[in-house]
Structure 1
Amino acid sequence: MNRFSLKRRLALAIMTASITMIGAIPQLAMAYDENSTSSVNVDAKGVGLKGFDPVAYFTAGSPTIGKSSIAAAHDGVTYYFASIENRDKFKADPAKYAPQYGGFCSTGVALEKKLDGDPQAWRVVDGKLYLNVNKDVQKKWLEDVPGNLKKAEMNWGSIKAKTPKSL
């Protein structure tokens, strides 16, 4: 076998391994739809939190990808879970684990906007899960959590049925 063939085989092996790894990772579909009047942030298949397990934020203390084979629905949203135990905890008390503001960005809601929520930019405050559009926005949100939550609570009722594009 010549040197060129070895390099070519190695490159093909790396490409094949990369494609296999990508295929093993759940697709993190964009949940955000600027024309939706829904009060929940879901992808085209109705999945919330972009496939992350809502219970894991409370139990593992970190974002954890769920499995589509371990799912439960609540308020028109399908959530994926990393374990059957997490799914069962969710089913016993979904309001405890479901993200606030339907999974939209908490800072956005405080500013009367419906922005996509990033499951990696999260915080549990007073036993409730809040998302932000990204970690930079989350830093600003964390500067005044009580003030931002007060504003968001005042705004959510009037914006939750509007399209993000109209706000």
Structure 2
Amino acid sequence: MILRHPLALLALVLLLPLAARADEPMIYASNGQAIQGYDTVAYFTDGKAVKGDRRYSVMWKGAIWLFASAQNRELFEANPRGYAPRYGGYCAYGMARGRVVGSTPETWAIRDGRLYLVNGSAIAARWQKDAEAEIALANANWPAALAR
């Protein structure tokens, strides 16, 4: 379910801390924002990390997703699973090791049409050396690593 109404977004942001669980949420959301407020669609359309704008936001999977334009928001709403980063935006390198680690929006890759985020350029270099094997390991660990 995607919510666009500003009051619904505000209510959910205020209620998120009350719904916190002992395990990690499915989407890595710093301050309630997925990808630290970056536009997930822009990775695909612009080929770079672009900050989103609060005017173009939606609530999906318990996180607020920001977009640089109304068009990008609409693309996401039409196919959120296609644009959302793998492993809920957690670091793909960490997930390959069964660890839940935050990611940085500036270190990313698109492989086979999927967005992967990692935690910093040094980690990105290690991940890129054998990304296919890293992805296979992370796929085996996701989402069970969230419950650890």
In the alignment, what sits opposite 1:81? Answer: 67
Q: CA deviation at 1:78?
A: 1.1
Normalised TM-score (structure 2): 0.82
Secondary structure in 2 aligned to 1:80?
strand
Q: Is the contact made by 2:40 and 2:84 (CA closer than 8 Å) also made in structure 1? A: yes
Secondary structure in 1 aligned to 2:99?
coil
In the alignment, what sits opposite 2:29? Answer: 42
Q: CA deviation at 1:36?
A: 5.1
Provide, for residues 24-65 of structure 1, a one-character-per-residue CA deviation record: whole Å limited to 9, x for no partner.
Answer: xxxxxxxxxxx7521211123x21100000000000000000
Secondary structure in 2 aligned to 1:53?
coil
In the alignment, what sits opposite 1:108? Answer: 94
Aligned length: 127
After the TM superposition, which parts of structure 1 deviate over 4 Å for at least 4 consecutive aligned residues?
A: none
Normalised TM-score (structure 1): 0.73
Larger Rg, first or second structure (1 or 2): 1
Q: CA RMSD in A?
A: 1.2
In structure 1, distance between residues paired with 2:53 and 2:69: 8
Q: Is the contact made by 1:38 and 1:161 (CA closer than 8 Å) also made in structure 2? A: no
In structure 2, distance between residues paired with 1:97 and 1:135: 22
- Structure 1 pair 63/111, CA: closer, same or farther in 2 (3 Å)? same
Q: CA deviation at 1:148?
A: 0.4
In the alignment, what sits opposite 2:122? Answer: 136
- Structure 1 pair 38/83, CA: closer, same or farther in 2 (3 Å)? same
Give the alignment of 1:12-161 within 5 angstroms: 37-44=24-31, 46-161=32-147
Give structure 1 stretches of 5+ with no counterpart. Answer: 1-34, 163-167
In structure 1, distance between residues paired with 2:55 and 2:48: 21
Q: Is the contact made by 2:34 and 2:65 (CA closer than 8 Å) also made in structure 1? A: yes
In structure 2, distance between residues paired with 1:106 and 1:37: 15
The percent of aligned pairs where both chains have the same amino acid is 32
In structure 1, distance between residues paired with 2:83 and 2:92: 16
Q: CA deviation at 1:157?
A: 2.8
Q: Is the contact made by 1:70 and 1:82 (CA closer than 8 Å) also made in structure 2? A: yes
